[in-house]
Every structure is written in C-alpha cells, then in structure tokens.
Structure 1
Amino acid sequence: MNMIPSCIFCTVLVLLSLQQTTSTHVTVGAVIDGTSRAGKEANVSLQIALEDISRKADQRLVLHIINSRGEPALASLSAKRLIAAREVQVIIGPHTWQEASRVAEVSNQGKIPMFSLADVTPIWAMEHWPFLVQASGTNQDAQMKAVAAIVQSWDWHRVNIIYEDDTVSAFGSVIPYLKESLQEVGAEISNLVPLESVIASSLVAELTRLREQQCRVFIVHTSMKLATRLFQKAKELKMVEEDYIWIVTNSITDFFHSLDLTTIHSIQGVIGVEKYFSTSSIRFADFKRRFQKKFSLDYPEEGNDQPGISAVEIYDALWAVAHTYGGRNMQVPKHRATFMEKMASVHFYGLTGRVQYNARKLTPSHMFRIVNVIGKSYKELGTWSKGLGFSESIGDNAVYNSSMQNLGQVIWPGQSLYTPKGWALSNSSGFWRIGVPTEGMFKQIINISYDPQTNNFTFTGFVIDTFREVMVRLPYHAPYEFIPYNGTFDSLVEQVYLKKFDGVVGVSVIADRYKYAEFTRTYTRSSLTMLVPVQSETPSRSWLFMKPFTKAMWLLILAITIYNGFVIWLIERKHNQRLQGSATDQAGILIWLSFTTLFSLQGGRLHNNLSRLVVVVWLFVALVITQSYSASLTSMLSVQKLEAKVSDIDTLKTSNAAVGHTRGFYGRYLEEVLGFKSINLRSFSSQEEFANALKTGKIAAGFMNDTYLKLFLAKHCRSFVAVGPSYTVGGHGFAFPMGSPIIADLDKALLEVTESGKLRELEDKTIGEEGCVGVDSSNDDEVSLSIDSFWIIFLFTGGTTTFSLAIYVLDRLKESWKHHK
C-alpha cells in the first residue's frame, strides 16, 4: 500500500522509456484534493494513464502531484511551487472552481497551460485567462434542458431551485440556463434558494420555509459535500418522503457510485442527471480492472472502488497533453502559445468518448444518463440526448420519446410507485377544503341541504357537478370536502388568501378578486344581459280569425268552392226547376249552391251520380279543411305573441327607471361601466323577488349573467325576454391560492370536460329542470297553414270535379248528335 504525505500528495518521476535517454521529457503538474473522492480517483487514474502513454505512445512524461486538501489558498501555493521548483510545462487543475480559479490565475501569470477539471467554468474566465483550458465535458445548457424535460414529463408546473452560491462558486452561473429551459416547457420557479457552501447555518430554516409551501418539486445544483448536508437535514424534516420530488444535477449524481449507506439512505427516490460515458468498451473494462485493483490498495477506507467520471476525465486530459506534444520525437515548445495552437488539432477517442478541443474547451457530450436512487445503490433508467429526447437504449436501434414516462417504473421518495402531484395541500387534513357559498338565486346552480339527524350537508347543482367532473379527470388522486360558507362572494374568495379554504367554487372571475386568489379558466359564458317584461305584440285581435290560413290558401278555397258549385249547378239544372230562371236568379243560386255543399251532402236532392260524386269528394276535403282551421284558430286564441316593453339601456337611463341585478359585483359594474345611478339600482337574492319586481313595475328591467338568465327564462318564458347587447364580464371559475400548481391541471381537466361534451350535458340537464311549454313563434308563416299542407286533397277534389264535368259534357254532346241525326 502506498503511504502518501499529507502536504505533498505524490511526486512521481517516471522513466518508462529508458532506451530513449536522449529524448526530451515533458513535466506535468497536477493539483488535486487528496481528501475528496474526485481527488483520490484522479490520483489513481493519472498513474494508470502514465503507464499507458509510455507503453502505447512511446512518450516520456514526468508527473508531479500535489494535494491541495480542498483549500483554494493551498491550491494557489501548490501551483506556484510546481512552476518555480518543478518547472512544469502543463498543470492539470482541481475539480472545484474555487480552487481552479486560483490555480488558473497563477498559471496564466506564468503562461503555463492549465487544464481545469471544474464542472462549471464561467464564460468570463475563458476570456480573462488565455491559458485556461476547460477539460470537463459538461454541456450545462444541455443538462438544464434534460432537467426541464424531466419536469415536463410528469406535468409539474412549479419547481423550487436550490443551488450553491458564494463569492467564488460558479454553480450560480448555470441558473440562467435552467430558468430558460423551464420556461420553454411551461414550468415556473416558485423559489430560488442560494446556499453558501461553507456556512450553511440557514439550511434548516430554508428547508422549513419550503416545507410550509405547496410546491414539492426540488431541483438541486450543488457540490456533493453540500448536497450531503442538505439531504440529511431534509430527511430529518421528513421532506424525502411521499409526495416530494428531488432532481439533482451531475455535480451530485457523478458521485452516486461512491456514497456510503448513510448518505444513500437519505436520498432514496431521488432522480439524477449524470454525465454519460460508455462503460461497455473493452478499453474501459481493462481500465476498470486495473483501477479497482490499485484504488482498493491505495484507499482501503473507501467502500466502493468503482471509477467515476472524475477518473476517466483526468485520464483523457493527460492523454490530451501527450497528443499535443506529439509522439516519439516530441519537442517541448519554446513558446507556450504554440501548445495552445497545437491542442486545437488534437482529436482522439478516450474513455469518455470523442476528445476534441474547440476554443480551449473540450467538446461536450449532449447525452446524459437518467438515474434513480433505489435501496443500497441506484439504477440507470435510460438516457436523454439533446434534440432526441429519452431512450432506454443507445445506438442505431434506440427509440426516443419526449417523455421520461417511457423509461419504465420510477421509485419515488417514500418508496412510492405513484407519481407525485408536485405540490401539497396547505393543511394537514389530507383533504382539500372547498368553500361553497350558501346564498344563491337558483338551486339548480348550487343547492346545500342539511340533515339534522346525521349532521351532514349535501351539495348538488350545476357548479358542484362540474367540479366533480373536473376532479375525476386529474392525473392523480386528490380527496376533497365541501364546506358551506355564509357570507359575501368577495369574503369567500378572501378565505383562500387567509388559508381557511384550499379552494372555492361558485364564484365569478373578477379582477379585484385576484388580490386574494388565482382562478381557473371559466366554464360558463362571460356576459351580462338585460331582462325586461313583455307585452302583447298585436293589441287588436279582430282579424285573428283570418290567421289560420295564408292568403293563398283562402283564395284557393274560394276558387275551388265556386268551381264545385258551378259544376253541380250545371249538372243538376236540367232536373231541378229551382236551378232555372233569370240570369240574376241563376247567379245567386250558383253561389248559394257552392257554399251549402260545404255543410250538407244533400244526396236526396241531387239527381245525377256525377254531381253526387263531386259533392262526396268535396265534403271530405271540406271536413279536413274545417277541422284544421278550428285547431289552428284555437291555438292562436290561447297564445299571444309578446314583445319587450323596453328595448335598450339608454331608455332606462334617461327615464331614471329602477333596474335590478343579482347579488355580487354586478351593481358596481352597472354603475361604473354602464352608467346607471346608484339610487336606481336594486339587488335581489332570489328569483321570485326578481320576477315579482319586474311584473309589478318596481323595476323596469334587470341584469343577469348568462347562467342565471337561461334558468330564469326557462321558468318565466311568457313573462320576460332578453333584449339588447350582452356585456362581457367574468364567468364562473374555481379559485385557489395564488401560485398554486394545481391551476394548470384543473385548466386541462376543464378543457377535457368541455371537449367531451359533458359540460353541455350538465347545462342541458340544469335548464331542463325548468322547462316551459307554449312559447310563441314570431314568424306568421310558421303558424298559418299554407297550400303546401293541402295540395294533394285540393288536387283530388279538383280532379274529381273536372272528371265529372268532362263526362257530363260528353254525354250532352252525344245526345245532341243523336238528336240532329
């Protein structure tokens, strides 16, 4: 076992190519934290890389490793010592930005290239230090999009972000990427919580504050050291249990393989985004075997000897140095800028995959592993790739999806198999407390009944039914209970702000109420309409007896009657002395004969079968016509057409007429928007009072929203009518606490209720309970009977009469021909 001093971690002089003693060697310095897991892996990995470079690339490197103990000041001092005493040509830097920034300053002053292994490197640093090389391949923009894709997969709409931030930490530089990515998927940030890496006395206070709020989705972007303390405190506060969601970035996930059981126990159910590198290649398998053997010997106190991203990245970094200096006949550049220029052309495949530097930055991978902590370890659920999405496998046969739900079962905190909602109630009862107003004009909208025997309330009505339909369509179980509230609608909404209720139903969406709550989309029409009494449209009904038939119908009846009378007179005049005489007498008899056939058959007085046939058919037609006339006239006499007494609001305002409205904000709207005087406004809480006021003239008109108006007119269809334009106001919606994540889920469920036709079905059912029959039509043609209804029987009688006439004429012609012959 190698015993390593605490100050000087390791000084290694390797002369693996002794046969080439004339070759010029390259001196490389490494500043690593020997107390951290990343530093320990780096130490072992560097020694393996030296062996491989000597054997495979035929290069001679001298490596000096110094332990910084995780102290930035000591890291800076170590860099100066390497440059001054060891004359290193390249420095491979620490894994934290606090240390890397100090080393970068020293190396830049000495014009020595420095490979930073810090996971996050600010943009300004690359511009400020021209000899700084970013050797860690994390694409933070892509990683934040992966985090946002996880949030979107489960329809979480609000998140809390906890990140490490102090005067030298670079974790905060990633937050703008995360904000933008979350915004792209429609998620909002409830809390942005910066934590100091060294002083974390406020950790418990911050977690307690977050626990009291509704949002239960936490994204953590800190170092592993701070994350360990964070999750230990969260575990103590029972925040790593059912209904909580924790998502961590690679700065934590990359060290999951090295955690002890105590730490693993505190992060059960956590989802992590981890930097991806292939573990299936033969080269990695060889590296892993050698790494595990050497690591277990050098660090027996470590419980896990698996190599992580820290090991493979520093392995590739040393290989990048070797490739930059060249092969067998390498030469040390006289000018350091030459090294930076040559490094841009380096291109090879290492343990992390393709290694190439662009603008002094290692080309990052756009692929990440998605892992889930379960039991004593963690499992890989799949991968996420930028521009492709989630997949359970990689390669040509990989199938990608936009949702993480396709990766398989996730074990959530509390060992739950059910996807958490992403938010929690503001109370500990486990039920939503939904406030319901006790006062209302229509029981069909909201009806609350009390049973004194059971001491229970029963809630029914359109609003209650709609809310229930919405709740069953939520993607999770959300138990609730209705609680009656006896007070104004404004004060009811205010109870949500005071946390007396978790939600409220049966209220209108009004701008002023947004001070106390946030509303879902409206599920009723948002308009206010005027309602007025009606009066008869036709004061004089003297000519009502003419209405059953249209004018064309009357003219046809007259024509066919006279025609039938003429044919009967013509046929019977030879046999009846009464049908003969002067022209005046004959005309009178013809008219009399035409109309008397309508009411009597007179079969005994007719002498010709042809005339009898005409009369029989005409009498049948006349019976149909008279019966239809009687039925239509009876209907008209019992129903009269109505018209509005008042047609517009200007008439009401100029006449200072009193107007009514339902309770709520409508009175203020009528006064402030429509211009009515407050002394002319009357408020009503029941439809009976409203209807009586309109009938008795206490108010000339009233105003109702569309929901109430439909029910009111359904019951009082013959007494009142809606007139004038509708005025847009707030419709009915559900009120919940401001910023509540449930709003988006309720809106989606409301759309499903609407699009499925269920909302229309509930509306029809509600209005159908107040059905009113006998509503008049305003179109005369719809009540007056026309020729279209009787043309067949008119054709029948007219044809019969014409046929009889033709037979009679032929008989007369035949007799006349015989007489002349």
Structure 2
Amino acid sequence: MNAVAAIVGTWHWRKVNLIYEDTDSATFSILPKLVDALHEVGTGIENLVPLPPLASSLYDDLEKLKRKQCRVFIVHTSLSLAKQLFLEAKKMGLMEKDTIWITTSSISDHFDFLNSSVISTMEGVLGVKTYHPQTGTQYKDFITRFRSRFRLEHPEEVRLVPGIFALEAYDATKAALLAMGGRKDVNTTDDSKDMEESSSTLHGQELLHKILQSDFKGLTGEFRFTEDVLAASTLFNWFSKTISTQKSSYNMSMEILGQVLWPGSPQNNPRGWALPTTENPLIIGVPENPTFNQFVNIRNVGGKQWVKGHSIEVFKAVLASLSYHLPYEFVPYNGTYDSLIQQIYYKKFDAVVGDTSIVARRCDFGEFSHPWTDSGLQMVVHKRSVTQNRPWLFLKPFTTAMWGLTALVNIYNGFAIWLMERTHHPEFNGSAWNKVGTLIWLAFTTLFSLQGDKLHSNLSRMTMLVWLFVAIIIIQSYTASLTSMLTIPRIQSKDYSMEFLRMTNAKVGCDGGSFVEKYLEDVFGLHPKNIRSFNSYTEYPLALEKGEIVAAFLEVPYMKVFLAKNCKDFVVVGPTYTVGGFGFVFPKGSPILPDISKAVLEVTESGKLLELQNNLLSAYNCSDSNEPDGSLGVPSFSGLFYITGGTTTITLVFYVLRSVMGRNHRANGS
C-alpha cells in the first residue's frame, strides 16, 4: 500500500477514487492501511466504491464516477472482477486521456497470466507487483523441478512459470518443515486418529512459536516475522503494458519510474481530474450584499445578471494565467461569509470568489488559495486634530518646566541689563512699581531686538548677545513645533488604544457578516454591545463624524478604498493587526487549487495585480473633501486672543478707574 501511495504522491494527485471488492479482508485489512498511506502523502479518497464479488454489471458504479471530477482510480479486486471492470471502463471512455488507473498486487501479481485480449483493455494501467528474486541457485533449482513436475501433470499448459502464490506457499511449507526440526515422518505412524489429534494438540503451540522464529531467505525473499506478522518487503515490481517490468525500492518519490505511457498515450503526465466543460461549468458562489461593493457588485441589466468588481477582475486575471480554459458560472449568495464558504462543504458551490477573508475556522469547510491582497486589520478614526477645542494649544510646544525656565532666565537677564544700564537711562529709575514694570518689559524685549544702540556697557552688550543667540534657537524651535501641531493632524494614540476602548466602553464599528466582529470580541475583549455592524461602507463617515462610533475596524483592502474616498477626513491609527487577507476558496483537496495559487503568484509578480488595484483606487478623488486643507481657524489661536484681549481690557479698566478717581479728587479739591 505504501508503494501505491508513493506513486500517487509523486505526481501530486490530491484525490483518488478507490474501487475495491467488498470482502472482509479488503474492508478491514487492506483499506485502512491504504487510507493511512495516502494520508501520509497528502492525498484523500474522494469516492469509495465497494463492488460485490459476483457483480453482474458495473455500469452504474462507473457512471457515478464518470460524473465526478477525480480521474485517479486505485483498484483492489480479484483478477476476475478486474477483467470485467476494465472492459466496462474502456467501453465508457474512462480509459482516455487524463485518467490514471493503478492496481494493487491482488491484480498485478497475475498480469503474466492474462491473454492479449484482456491486456488490450488495460492499456496504460500501472500496477504494483510483489517482488521476488529470480536469480540464485535456490530459485533456479526450484524452477527446474517445478517445470518438470508441472509439464507432467498439465501437458496442455503452455506457460510453465509459477505465480507468486506458488512461491509463497513453498516458503510457508519450508518454514513449517524447519520448525519441526526437519522430520519428514510426521503423522506417518499407524497410530489411531485420537492419538494423532492428541499429538497435534500437544505440539501446536510449540510449533507455532518456532515458525514465528523463522528467519531464512526463501523464494520470495527474506522470510521472517516481526511482532507475529510476516515482515513486508521493501522491494516491489511495477508493471505497465507499455513498459517492461522493473524492480524498485519503496521510496516516498517514485520518479525512478521514468516516463510512463498513461491511458490515451498523453505526452505529459495526466492531471488526474476532469476539466469543467461549458455544459458542466464550475458553480462559483459570490456574496450578494458585500459591505464594499467595489469588490463584488451584482447588477441586473436587461433581465441578465452581471457580476463585476475588483475581486472578479482579479479572478479573471488569475484564470487567464492558467494553461487551460476553466468554464465557470457565478451564483450570488445572500448570507454571511461564513455561511457562503460552508456551501462548498455542502457541495452547493464548487468555489467561492469575492472579498473572502482567510480565517482559521473557515478552513474546516474549504481550502483557500494564496492570498491576493495585503493582510491586516486596521483602525480608522475621524481626524480630530489637537487644534480642535484646544484654545491653549500655543502652550503645547514647551513643557511646563521649559516655560518656567524660559520666564525665569528672561527675568534674570532683564534684571541684569537693568542693573547695568540704570545709570545711563533715567527712565529705569522712579518708584518701585515703575522699576518692576521696566524690568519685566526689558526682559521680554530682549527676545526680539538686540537694542545695541541703547546699551552703554560692554558687559550688558555681551549678556544681551549671548541671550539673543539662545533666544533665537528657542523661538525657532517653538515656531517649528507649533507649526507642526497646527498643520498636521495629531491623534492622541493613547486615546485610541485597545485598552482605552475597552476601559471606556467606546463604540466601534465593523463590517456586518464578516469575521471582524467575532475577532474584536475574542482577541481584544470588546463587549458585543459596543460593536456596531455596518452593511455599507457609506455609513462609516457619518457615524464617525457624529461620534456614534469612536473608531472603525477595516481590513487593509477595505481601508485603502475607504481612505481613497475620504483621505482628508479620516486617518489610520494604531498598529496593523495580522489577519489572513483575501483568498479564493475551493473544496478541500481540490486539484484546481494548486494551479490557482500558482496563478495568483504569477499575476502578482507580473504587476497585473498592482495595476488592477491602481485602477480600483484611481476612481476616487481625495479633493472632493469639503474641508479646506491647511487652513487655521480662530479656535487655534483663541487662547492668545483671550490673553491679549483680557490684558487690554484690564489695563483699560484700570486707566478708566484712575482717570475717574483723578477727576473726582480734583473736583473735591476745588
């Protein structure tokens, strides 16, 4: 069975049909071993076809197999049933191109005894035969004696070659004889029948024990038992009608077989499955109501249904890269993506094409191709710049310590200049309040002018020069930082972390019917009531702007489309969470899938996939945004206006009060 599985694995046939004779030995002994061996090479059994030993007609069974796609047949029956099977298969056209027939030793061991008419019905069949060495003194001596005896007893027979069963029977007899110590007079005495049975019973277990210890080289090879089972040979013969019988050692790769002439005499190795036809195309399910209809868009035009979109264009490009034509038919499905993929398992669809995400739980119902999009899940939020509702934004470029140190150094330098220049400036003198006001004014004016013509002391000039150099650096750094804050939207990452969303019970959005909702619950621990599903991508912008949701979670392909349409209003924040991306879905073990995955890579490497993606995104113009870019409003500087307006108002009030009080004082004096 391992040799059969190795042949299947060498040509990468992922599914086979197993036709076997419905006997106890096949069902309980051969079948489990073959299933395990095929599983080791990654192949599954698509159809099990038990045939009754005395079957009168095999047409119905073969007709069912003919309607299936798999064209690899493994046959384990008796020789008589195999003759009938291959004759019927040839009549039905199942021995044509792209079919593979492999027989086990139950049939192949008897190929030498078939006549030419039977052999003609088995053209291209590959069989595995039990190996036995045909050299050595022991074999030649046996053949000589066998032919002499057989010719005397059956003079009508032309072929005088013993079959494998004859060789095995000879080795089994020799093992029993050696176990009995080579005595040839066993059971030849004139004792009664009861004594013979008693003697046989007495020595039965001892005889069995000695047989199980046998270890000799017989006609069929090494004859020994392992765990009370006759050890299987690692050598076998493989047989084809068009190629002579050859000996091979069992290996996981059977490339040693060389070029095999398969049924229908194809030049290349057969695929092992039947291509869909125009009359019997692939039935492909597509999502009827996707959230992003840019990927799958179903329209009824003139009573005819049209399926378009980015996913469809990618699929067509992949099919164009195949070396064969693949007819198909799209069938819309109204349901969740999980339910859509389950229809493959229930055999309603042959494949699923669309924006289907590769998710672990979906692999229980189908098998995905290589992903044809970038993988990842991202968070998008409305652009809430730090300028919004932040009247004290101008204080943000510096920390509190920096502001305090700057003010302290300013006052210190102002005091130093005042102290060194007071003898040269009468206006620096006066009352205490006048001196304090002059000192503060002088401290801050040093930030904006050198005032060298007003300074008389070289020490004060040196102090002013050094401070002005430092002040220029501080002012330029402040200006650059503030400019960045005013012109580049800043998102407080801590406000949009998963921990923050979870702790604050913030509302988030995701696509309805996708895996994302379950992903947010299981992976990030968000409460289901805080997750809102959307059925259309057009609902996201309004919900984010109104604050109905704080953030939306979209897969990378969706995010690219969403931002292409709303790039000035929304922004991606946080890391990209790894998920599977989009892939096409086929039944498990589908023979088409490897070709599709290879074609996806070819389309990607050729640049065609990038071209299709650019065509998808170029349909949107980011300039359609209503909000002008880079414009700064009153809220950005309201803090400064509050300060200067408040200061002016206060000084004006003090001036008015002082003026009124001065008039009243003069009036009372007069």
TM-score per shorter chain, which class? Answer: 0.5 to 0.7
Render the CA deviation track for 1:677-715: whole Å, top value 9, x for unaligned: 9xx999644x33553466579x77897664576347635
Match in the other structure for 1:502: 350
**TM-score of the two chains, using structure 1 as the length reference:** 0.55
Render the CA deviation track for 1:793-819: whole Å, top value 9, x for unaligned: xxxxxxxxxxxxxxxxxxxxxxxxxxx
Match in the other structure for 2:98: 243
Match in the other structure for 1:164: 21
| Secondary structure at 2:394 match in 1 | helix
Q: Structure 1 CA distance, aligned partners of 2:538 and 2:85?
A: 63
Q: Structure 1 CA distance, aligned partners of 2:98 and 2:245?
A: 21
Does residue 1:371 correspond to 2:238, yes or no? yes
Structure 2 CA distance for partners of 1:602 and 1:356, relative to 1, 3 Å: closer
Q: Structure 1 CA distance, aligned partners of 2:74 and 2:124?
A: 13
Any conservation in 1 of the 2:378–2:556 contact (CA below 8 Å)?
no
| Secondary structure at 1:414 match in 2 | coil
Alignment root-mean-square deviation, CA: 6.1
Structure 2 CA distance for partners of 1:447 and 1:194, relative to 1, 3 Å: closer
Match of 1:413 among 263, 275, 280: 263
Map 1:423-502 → 2, pairs under 5 A: 423-425=273-275, 427=277, 434=284, 436=286, 440-442=290-292, 445-446=295-296, 461=310, 465=314, 479-480=325-326, 488=334, 502=350
Any conservation in 2 of the 1:538–1:641 contact (CA below 8 Å)?
no
Q: Structure 2 CA distance, aligned partners of 1:732 and 1:660?
A: 20
| Secondary structure at 1:626 match in 2 | helix
Does residue 1:353 correspond to 2:221, yes or no? yes
Q: Structure 2 CA distance, aligned partners of 1:445 and 1:411?
A: 45
| Alpha-carbon shift at residue 254 of structure 1 (Å) | 1.0
Q: Structure 1 CA distance, aligned partners of 2:422 and 2:178?
A: 134
| Alpha-carbon shift at residue 745 of structure 1 (Å) | 5.2
**TM-score of the two chains, using structure 2 as the length reference:** 0.65
Return the letter of the residue paired with 1:165: D
Match of 1:198 among 54, 60, 65: 54
Structure 2 CA distance for partners of 1:545 and 1:439, relative to 1, 3 Å: same
Q: Structure 1 CA distance, aligned partners of 2:74 and 2:329?
A: 36
Q: Structure 2 CA distance, aligned partners of 1:556 and 1:349?
A: 99
| Alpha-carbon shift at residue 563 of structure 1 (Å) | 3.9
Does residue 1:622 correspond to 2:471, yes or no? yes
Structure 2 CA distance for partners of 1:727 and 1:567, relative to 1, 3 Å: closer
| Alpha-carbon shift at residue 205 of structure 1 (Å) | 1.3
Q: Structure 2 CA distance, aligned partners of 1:768 and 1:610?
A: 66
Does residue 1:226 correspond to 2:81, yes or no? yes
Does residue 1:688 correspond to 2:538, yes or no? yes
Return the letter of the residue paired with 1:367: T
- Number of equivalenced pairs: 586
Q: Structure 2 CA distance, aligned partners of 1:727 and 1:579?
A: 66
Match in the other structure for 1:380: 246
| Alpha-carbon shift at residue 252 of structure 1 (Å) | 0.9
Match in the other structure for 1:46: none
| Alpha-carbon shift at residue 727 of structure 1 (Å) | 14
Any conservation in 2 of the 1:148–1:185 contact (CA below 8 Å)?
yes
Q: Structure 1 CA distance, aligned partners of 2:503 and 2:327?
A: 43
| Alpha-carbon shift at residue 636 of structure 1 (Å) | 3.5
Match in the other structure for 1:270: 125
- Bigger drift between 290-299 and 427-436 goes to 290-299
Render the CA deviation track for 1:482-514: whole Å, top value 9, x for unaligned: 755566357977996998963221165899x99
Return the letter of the residue paired with 2:76: H
Return the letter of the residue paired with 1:193: V
Match in the other structure for 1:257: 112
| Alpha-carbon shift at residue 207 of structure 1 (Å) | 0.9
| Secondary structure at 1:268 match in 2 | coil
| Secondary structure at 1:215 match in 2 | coil
Return the letter of the residue paired with 1:253: S
| Alpha-carbon shift at residue 597 of structure 1 (Å) | 2.2
Return the letter of the residue paired with 1:243: D
Match of 2:395 among 546, 570, 574: 546
| Alpha-carbon shift at residue 546 of structure 1 (Å) | 1.3
Match in the other structure for 1:790: none
Any conservation in 1 of the 2:286–2:353 contact (CA below 8 Å)?
yes
Q: Structure 1 CA distance, aligned partners of 2:503 and 2:439?
A: 61
Render the CA deviation track for 1:114-170: whole Å, top value 9, x for unaligned: xxxxxxxxxxxxxxxxxxxxxxxxxxxxxx34434444444444332212236xx74
| Secondary structure at 2:353 match in 1 | strand
Return the letter of the residue paired with 2:451: Q
| Alpha-carbon shift at residue 209 of structure 1 (Å) | 0.7
Any conservation in 1 of the 2:358–2:583 contact (CA below 8 Å)?
no
| Secondary structure at 2:264 match in 1 | helix
Structure 2 CA distance for partners of 1:589 and 1:493, relative to 1, 3 Å: closer
| Alpha-carbon shift at residue 342 of structure 1 (Å) | 5.3
Any conservation in 1 of the 2:375–2:556 contact (CA below 8 Å)?
no
Any conservation in 2 of the 1:271–1:372 contact (CA below 8 Å)?
yes
Any conservation in 2 of the 1:442–1:708 contact (CA below 8 Å)?
no
| Secondary structure at 1:194 match in 2 | strand
Q: Structure 1 CA distance, aligned partners of 2:335 and 2:455?
A: 84
| Secondary structure at 2:238 match in 1 | strand
Q: Structure 2 CA distance, aligned partners of 1:694 and 1:256?
A: 76
Map 1:2-41 → 2, pairs under 5 A: none
Render the CA deviation track for 1:601-629: whole Å, top value 9, x for unaligned: 22333345554444344434433433443
Match in the other structure for 2:168: 313
* Long gaps (5+) in structure 2: 190-195, 630-670
Any conservation in 2 of the 1:316–1:352 contact (CA below 8 Å)?
yes
Q: Structure 2 CA distance, aligned partners of 1:748 and 1:688?
A: 33
| Alpha-carbon shift at residue 206 of structure 1 (Å) | 0.6
Does residue 1:602 correspond to 2:438, yes or no? no
Q: Structure 2 CA distance, aligned partners of 1:702 and 1:633?
A: 27
Q: Structure 2 CA distance, aligned partners of 1:690 and 1:212?
A: 48
Q: Structure 1 CA distance, aligned partners of 2:622 and 2:35?
A: 57
| Alpha-carbon shift at residue 369 of structure 1 (Å) | 0.8
Return the letter of the residue paired with 1:194: P
Return the letter of the residue paired with 2:54: V
Match in the other structure for 1:593: 442
Render the CA deviation track for 1:304-354: whole Å, top value 9, x for unaligned: 655442343344456557656776985655436558555845765332234
Map 1:208-219 → 2, pairs under 5 A: 208-219=63-74
Match in the other structure for 1:633: 482
Any conservation in 2 of the 1:522–1:731 contact (CA below 8 Å)?
no
Render the CA deviation track for 1:369-414: whole Å, top value 9, x for unaligned: 1514151x44326122xxxxx1xxxxxxxxxxx3334664444433
Q: Structure 2 CA distance, aligned partners of 1:606 and 1:192?
A: 106
Any conservation in 1 of the 2:297–2:308 contact (CA below 8 Å)?
yes
Match in the other structure for 2:139: 284
| Secondary structure at 1:382 match in 2 | strand
Structure 2 CA distance for partners of 1:370 and 1:477, relative to 1, 3 Å: farther
Render the CA deviation track for 1:621-650: whole Å, top value 9, x for unaligned: 433433443343344445476879x97899
Map 1:9-88 → 2, pairs under 5 A: none
Q: Which structure's relative contact order is higher, taking Cα pairs within 8 Å and 6+ residues apart?
A: 2
| Secondary structure at 1:231 match in 2 | helix
Q: Structure 2 CA distance, aligned partners of 1:405 and 1:556?
A: 81
Render the CA deviation track for 1:500-549: whole Å, top value 9, x for unaligned: 963221165899x99x9745489699999998878787875332221222
* Long gaps (5+) in structure 1: 1-143, 385-389, 391-401, 654-658, 777-821
Any conservation in 2 of the 1:264–1:373 contact (CA below 8 Å)?
no
| Secondary structure at 1:219 match in 2 | strand
Q: Structure 1 CA distance, aligned partners of 2:282 and 2:39?
A: 29
